[in-house]
Chains A and B, each alone.
Chain A
Amino acid sequence: MSNFEQFYSDFYQSNYTIDNQEEGYSSYRSNENLYGSEKSPLGDQPQADTFIPSEMHLSSQSYYTGQILQPTYSPNTLSYIGYGDSFDDEPPLLEELGINFDHIWQKTLTVLNPMKPADGSIMNETDLTGPIVFCLALGATLLLAGKVHFSYVYGMSAIGCLAMYMLLNLMSNTGVSHGCVASVLGYCLLPIVILSGSAVVFSLQGTLGTLLALLVVGWCSLSASKIFTSALAMEGQQLLIAYPCALLYGLFALLTVF
């Protein structure tokens, strides 16, 4: 099982995940808190430095040294320790589920600021909690505006993920996994949630609404294509990735406006 994780996580063939997971295991062994491992000593930073691509900004380096164990690791680590453990040795619930609020927040900030260059390592872990929260938020804001369109949201996001997965596999040199595509597309749904939130307050069917919708669609597709191109090393083709993303988010905007 762990081999599949590494296969799907290594987009740029580095040893980043292996060493981090070993380190995560050792930090878990010493019973550190999840958030305590984020503030781990500066000794972590030089090691993380060597695996992060050089175009990353200095400010974002400290955010990704946090060790988060994937859920599939818990059986392995438990088998090392043994099943007759006491309650204190079990990992905290969030760590076991693989939900790391700090990473979710960092990815959200990356989406909200499309002008800031992203690093490729944020998509090393497939995190679907953020996307699912955003889909539910979109459904909830649509509900507030009087439209019950949960099925459309889920259907369109599923079909959109499948189509983007096929397109990205055809266009990139390294492949992508379903989880990565779903994760990126889900995170970049956030501006559409903001648009549908504003649809509650005023109707979007005028000129102002159309302009706002176009702006939001451009924002979403710019963020999504930025993350995809940095994760898959396809710099010259950002526009080519942005256009299908724009079509997909345009469909969501159509759902929100009408």
Chain B
Amino acid sequence: QVWQAGKRQASRAFSLYANIDILRPYFDVEPAQVRARLLESMIPVKMVNFPQKIAGELYGPLMLVFTLVAILLHGMKTSDTIIREGTLMGTAIGTCFGYWLGVSSFIYFLAYLCNAQITMVQMLSLLGYGLFGHCITLFVTYNIHFHSLFYIFWLGVGGLSTLRMVAVLVSRTVGHTQRLILCGTLAALHMLFLLYLHFAYHKVVEGILDTLEGPNMPPFQRVARDIPVVSNALVNTTAKAAALTL
């Protein structure tokens, strides 16, 4: 009896294993390859006439999404962000994985409409490697709090990775309107996501300015900040100085 139950469980486990096996060829990478692809994701290649090669692997993108989750968590912890409904970990994982899977599927759907030659795995891989720029930007700007630095990084690093993805998609699409739709959507979503991540999860200075100016600024729905009363005096002067420099 026990043996039969064990056998049934083993066969169920094996069928689950067989499903995972489909993804096996996408994880067969060497460290040198991953490093090369990470660096390539920041270099736009202007080859428009011939479809550019996209590496269809999932290890790099998956690790980059997890790194983004870790960076978000670190940023939220250092800025004492409080999420009212839900947990910090759940929000971070939901945001990052939601962006990666959701936007990939959406762009894949648009690519299907615009007749672009790209498969789902390639799209996941492309967008995943595009998150490398996001990781760098957020890692730097969560620790060094200058707004102008963030904007420079947003345009420079974010722009580079967006340009790379756009160039790849342009090389794989025919027709000006289709190229415009596809690349415009992807560029907008990618850059706006970086902006959202910076402002929604690590806004210590602006939170302080909010409480100082009173209820004129519209409140953010999801995050609230508790500023300790003790450090208000010290923080007043620094915030005013920061407001003047901005």
Q: Mark A59-73, 1 if CB is under 8 A from B, else 0.
A: 000000000000000
Whether A166 and B34, one on each chain, are in contact in the complex, defined by CB atoms closer than 8 angstroms, is no
Residue A200, interface by CB 8 Å: no
Residue A218, interface by CB 8 Å: no
A250-B70 contact given A170-B27, A240-B29, CB 8 Å threshold: yes
Interface centre among A1, A169, A170, A175 (most CB of B within 10 A): A170
Residues on A with beta carbons closer than 8 Å to the beta carbon of B226? none
Whether B27 and A171, one on each chain, are in contact in the complex, defined by CB atoms closer than 8 angstroms, is yes
Whether B20 and A247, one on each chain, are in contact in the complex, defined by CB atoms closer than 8 angstroms, is no
Whether B63 and A244, one on each chain, are in contact in the complex, defined by CB atoms closer than 8 angstroms, is yes
Interface centre among B24, B31, B34, B77 (most CB of A within 10 A): B31
Residue A167, interface by CB 8 Å: yes
Residues on A with beta carbons closer than 8 Å to the beta carbon of B74? 254
A contacts with B: majority SS? helix
Whether A251 and B70, one on each chain, are in contact in the complex, defined by CB atoms closer than 8 angstroms, is yes
Whether B24 and A170, one on each chain, are in contact in the complex, defined by CB atoms closer than 8 angstroms, is yes
Q: Mark A224-258, 1 if CB is under 8 A from B, else 0.
A: 00000000000011011001100100110010001
Within 8 A of A (CB), among B7-28: 10, 17, 20, 23-24, 27-28
A254-B27 contact given A166-B20, A247-B66, CB 8 Å threshold: no
A236-B31 contact given A170-B20, A170-B24, CB 8 Å threshold: yes
Residues on A with beta carbons closer than 8 Å to the beta carbon of B67? 247
Docked pose: A216 CA to B24 CA in angstroms? 31
Q: Mark B43-80, 1 if CB is under 8 A from A, else 0.
A: 00000000000000001000100110010011001000
Docked pose: A171 CA to B26 CA in angstroms? 9
Residues on A with beta carbons closer than 8 Å to the beta carbon of B20? 166, 169-170
Whether A167 and B70, one on each chain, are in contact in the complex, defined by CB atoms closer than 8 angstroms, is no
Docked pose: A25 CA to B31 CA in angstroms? 44
Whether A258 and B17, one on each chain, are in contact in the complex, defined by CB atoms closer than 8 angstroms, is no
Docked pose: A232 CA to B29 CA in angstroms? 16
**Further 4 A-B residue pairs, CB within 8 A, beyond A240-B59, A254-B77:** A169-B20, A175-B17, A243-B63, A244-B66
Q: List 25 A-B contacts (CB under 8 A).
A: A1-B6, A166-B20, A167-B27, A169-B17, A169-B20, A170-B20, A170-B27, A171-B27, A171-B28, A175-B17, A236-B30, A237-B30, A240-B30, A240-B31, A240-B34, A240-B59, A243-B63, A244-B63, A244-B66, A247-B63, A247-B70, A250-B70, A251-B70, A251-B73, A254-B77
